[in-house]
Structure 1
Amino acid sequence: MTQAKQPAYGEGDVTLQAVGGLDGLRTLVETFYRLMENTPEFRPLFDMHPNNISLTIDKLVAFLSGWMGGERLFAKNYGEISLPQAHAHLVVTEKEKAMWLNCMAAALDEIGYQGDLKTYLLSKLEFPAERIRQVSTARHNS
Structure 2
Amino acid sequence: MQSEEKPPFDTPFAWIGGEEKIRALVDRFYDLMDLEPRYAALRAAHGSTLDNARERLFWFLCGWLGGPQHYTDRFGHPRLRMRHMPFAIGIQERDQWLACMDQAMGEVGVDEALRERLGNSFFQTADWMRNVGA
TM-score (norm. length: structure 2): 0.87
* Equivalent in the alignment of 1:119: 116
**Sequence identity percentage:** 26
Question: 1:36–1:46: 8 Å Cα contact kept in structure 2?
Answer: yes
- Does residue 58 (structure 1) correspond to residue 55 (structure 2)? The answer is yes
- How many positions carry a matched residue from both structures? 130
User: Aligned-pair distance for 1:109?
Assistant: 1.0
Q: Spell out, residue by residue over 1:53-80, the C-alpha distance to the aligned partner (whole angstroms, 9 max, x if none).
A: 2221110011111110112111112232
1:8 aligns with 2:7: yes
Corresponding residue SS for 2:37: coil
Larger radius of gyration: 1
Could you say which residue in structure 2 is the equivalent of 1:80?
77
Residue 27 of structure 2 is aligned to residue 34 of structure 1: no
Question: 5+ residue gaps in structure 1?
Answer: 1-5
Q: Indicate which of 87, 109, 124 corresponds to 2:106.
A: 109
Q: Does 1:97 align with 2:94?
A: yes
Q: Structure 1 runs of 4+ off > 6 angstroms? A: none
Please provide the CA RMSD for this pair.
Answer: 2.0
CA contact (8 A) 2:41 2:92 kept: no
Amino acid at match of 1:8: P
TM-score w.r.t. the length of structure 1 is 0.82
Which segments of 5 or more consecutive residues in structure 2 lack a partner in the other structure? none
